[in-house]
Chains A and B, each alone.
Chain A
Amino acid sequence: MSSAEHTPAEHTRRDFLYVMTGAVAAAGAVAAAVPLIGQMNPDASTIAAGAPIEVDLTPIAQGQVIKVFWRGKPIFIDHRTKKEIDEARAVDWHTLPDPASDESRVKSGKDQWLVLIGICTHLGCIPLAHQGDYDGWFCPCHGSQYDSSGRIRRGPAPLNLALPPYEFVSDTKIRIG
């Protein structure tokens, strides 16, 4: 490099070439990172195995909670008693940590059926049914308590138990997913 011909502040064609070469190398590095990072996302077979499932509700007695698996996640299907529904609706839901009415968490006309993703919203443990102070779920890991609508009432979990996407295909059958 001859510094006699150019002052350091002057931009030359060579500077331009350096910058462009660097830019192409950076773009190449980003392009190479895409497959290296992307390979860790769920693969095609995992996604395919996550297709919707159908569950027959007839064998579930009142007061019983069953657990089915969808996408590797436990799904709670709770056939709630009248007492549990009344308790869930008696509370002023505006004051709850994650405000939601019980009506918004079930399908209208199917008030007795509560369908939840059975994963504590704190750190992913599976809460235990019919335990805790709110006639709902208790998480053994860090002590979060959910009520009979699956709403967080006490403990470190920030959110209510999540609702999976589901619909009633008939009065006694739901499709999850």
Chain B
Amino acid sequence: MIKTLKYILLGFYFGFVLIKSEAVSWYRIVEMFHFQSFHLFGVIGSAVVTGIVSIFLIKRLYLTTLDDEVVDLTPKPIRFKANFFGGILFGLGWSLVGACTAPLFIHFGAGSYIIVVAIAAAILGTFVYGTIKHKLPH
């Protein structure tokens, strides 16, 4: 029960700061890909720097989780073709909808219910990937 609440609250926190960053704005995404503003580059850049510094501190200070476990910092395995080609396809989708994954759910919560079309399409895209995965270069 407490765990359930914890993850909902953490998702709420992330969703809210993402909203405040305006990375959920369709307009901001179009603006960013046109290089018409520094705003979202500043958001992403400073978010990544914060992440890098916090990982550095976790390692340096041997911080452990609340359950006293060693923090698992194993990165995802590199599969160059999949990361790159998949990345390009994801980026295409990001620019065409004007939203990446989390913002799709923000739009839904915000009441722009037409976004369920894109969410359903994303589920279909995931289903198709899982089905034809073995035929793709990885």
Q: Do A and B come from one complex?
A: no
Instruction: Show the binding face of B for A, using Cβ within 8 Å.
Output: none
Instruction: Show the binding face of A for B, using Cβ within 8 Å.
Output: none
